[in-house]
């Protein structure tokens, strides 16, 4: 049987359509379908390219197009080719028109122009990159959240995940040979979160890291003695700060992030909506 394909067609990025397609696909044996993106559609030529590919495959077209001539052409061409094409926005748009008695602008990419959350997300991502791994300690005072922990406790990926949720995150590595910055002890303790991990899990992760770098797994970096020394040192710093601590062993980034935010809110930390 031919591979099942969904063409996600949009006059913008198409992320809304993709999320909806993934949500539906997940209901069918885990969502084993291939999603092909066709973003920033501006003319009929772009749509013709989609139909050329779609009519020779086992596929569906899911689209979010608000420009009337393009939508009309897509619907008509889909009927002619016998291809299922689903307008993901139109039912809700019709409901808005009917219930609120308003007419849509029908202009693409308005979310990118009007959604302040988008710009806050970009700003947070740039912040996370700039203040990653203790590169610039000025970020500690300006961050919403400061992550601390030894190497390979998911500080960077967790920072980026939280940045996509619009939180400005700085992270600082804890190394026995390096005195932690004074700023860590000056900020509110609830603003800082310590990340810990079991020695065996960290040993496994570091060995794999060295293997990927083409280095010997016998390096001090992955030795159990060194790991125990680092974890003991990090725990002392975290206790000195008085910050909440999360054990990230065997936790997905999403799970750690949810736990972190719930923990901080419980401690009275107020975040922007």
Binding residues for ADP: 149-156
Q: Using CA atoms, how far apart are residues 232 and 199, in angstroms rounded to an integer?
A: 10
Contact 27, 55 (CB under 8 A): no
Return the structure tokens found at 222. 């992955």
d(CA 169, CA 64): 33
Contact 192, 220 (CB under 8 A): no
Q: Which residues are annotated as a binding site?
A: 149-156
Residue 184 contacts residue 192 (beta carbons within 8 Å): yes
Maximum pairwise Cα distance, the chain:
71
What does 173-229 look like in DSSP terms, one character per residue?
A: E--TTSPPPTHHHHS-GGGEEEEE--HHHHHHHHHHHHHHTT--TTSGGG-HHHHHH
Paired residues of 6 in beta bridges: 35, 60
């Amino acid at each position: 049987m031919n591979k099942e394909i969904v063409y996600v067609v949009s006059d913008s990025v198409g992320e809304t359509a993709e999320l909806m397609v993934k949500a539906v696909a997940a209901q069918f044996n885990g969502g084993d379908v291939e999603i092909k993106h066709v973003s920033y559609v501006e003319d009929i030529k772009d749509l013709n390219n989609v139909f050329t590919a779609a009519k020779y495959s086992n596929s569906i077209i899911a689209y979010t197009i608000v420009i009337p001539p393009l939508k009309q052409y897509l619907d008509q061409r889909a009927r002619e080719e016998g291809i299922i094409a689903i307008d993901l926005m139109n039912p809700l748009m019709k409901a808005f028109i009917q219930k609120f008695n308003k007419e849509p602008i029908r202009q693409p990419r308005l979310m990118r122009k009007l959604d302040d959350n988008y710009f806050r997300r970009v700003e947070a991502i740039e912040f996370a990159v700039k203040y990653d791994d203790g590169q610039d300690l000025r970020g500690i005072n300006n961050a919403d959240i400061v992550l601390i922990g030894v190497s390979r406790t998911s500080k960077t990926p967790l920072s980026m995940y939280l940045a996509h949720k619009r939180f400005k995150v700085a992270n600082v590595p804890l190394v026995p040979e390096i005195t932690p910055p004074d700023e860590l002890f000056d900020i509110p303790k609830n603003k800082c979160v310590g990340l810990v991990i079991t020695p065996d899990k960290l040993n496994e992760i570091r060995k794999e890291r060295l293997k990927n770098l083409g280095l010997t797994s016998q390096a001090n970096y992955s030795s159990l003695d060194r790991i125990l020394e680092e974890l003991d040192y990090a725990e002392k710093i975290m206790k000195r700060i008085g910050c909440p601590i999360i054990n990230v062993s065997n936790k997905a980034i999403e799970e750690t992030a949810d736990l972190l935010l719930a923990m901080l809110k419980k401690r009275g930390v107020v975040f922007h909506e």
